[in-house]
């Protein structure tokens, strides 16, 4: 079974020098009847369809497939409910982990979140100095929830 073990944190940008290049991401969600998330994402020149199960702490089932960008554009336009999440992603290596730092725009302007994938739920993690607060279990920070409850309304 495909599984994602991911922790999520808030970031102090004043303590970090961003890499020169970021990757533009636009993503939306296809409505489901349960807690499964079906995400359509265009990331740079590539597109992906991702299915995610319910969060159990930092763990959930995840399946991701690359799809044609034209299909993703049509899915975002016709199948995804409501607005999209726009952000720029920066990849930062710290110790042995690759961190994905997202700077949101649009209705989520001002939100900066860093995620790191782990091999095990109890894996020791050396936090970079630019990490402030862990928000892994706070559903407000789930990208799928940022559509209906954007950061600007908090």
Residues carrying an active site annotation: 29
DSSP secondary structure letters along the chain: --EEEEEEEEE-GGG-PPPS--EEEEEEEE--SSS-EEEEEEETTEEEEEEE---BTTEEEEEEEEE-HHHHHHHHHHTS-S--EEEEEEEEEETTEEEEEEEE-GGGTT-EEEEEE-SSTT------TTEEEE-TT-GGGSHHHHHHS-GGG-
β-bridge partners, 151: none
């Amino acid at each position: 079974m495909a599984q994602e073990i991911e922790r999520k944190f808030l970031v102090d940008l004043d303590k970090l020098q961003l890499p020169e290049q970021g990757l533009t991401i636009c993503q939306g969600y296809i409505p489901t009847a349960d807690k499964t998330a079906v995400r359509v994402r265009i990331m740079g020149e590539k597109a992906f369809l991702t299915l995610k199960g319910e969060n159990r702490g930092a763990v959930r089932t995840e399946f991701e497939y690359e799809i044609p960008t034209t299909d993703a554009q049509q899915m975002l336009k016709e199948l995804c409910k409501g607005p999209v999440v726009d952000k720029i992603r920066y990849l930062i290596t710290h110790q042995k982990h690759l961190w994905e730092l997202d700077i949101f725009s649009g209705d989520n302007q001002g939100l900066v979140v860093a995620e790191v994938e782990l091999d095990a739920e109890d894996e020791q993690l050396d936090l970079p100095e630019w990490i402030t607060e862990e928000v892994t279990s706070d559903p407000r920070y789930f990208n799928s929830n940022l559509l209906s409850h954007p950061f600007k309304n908090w």
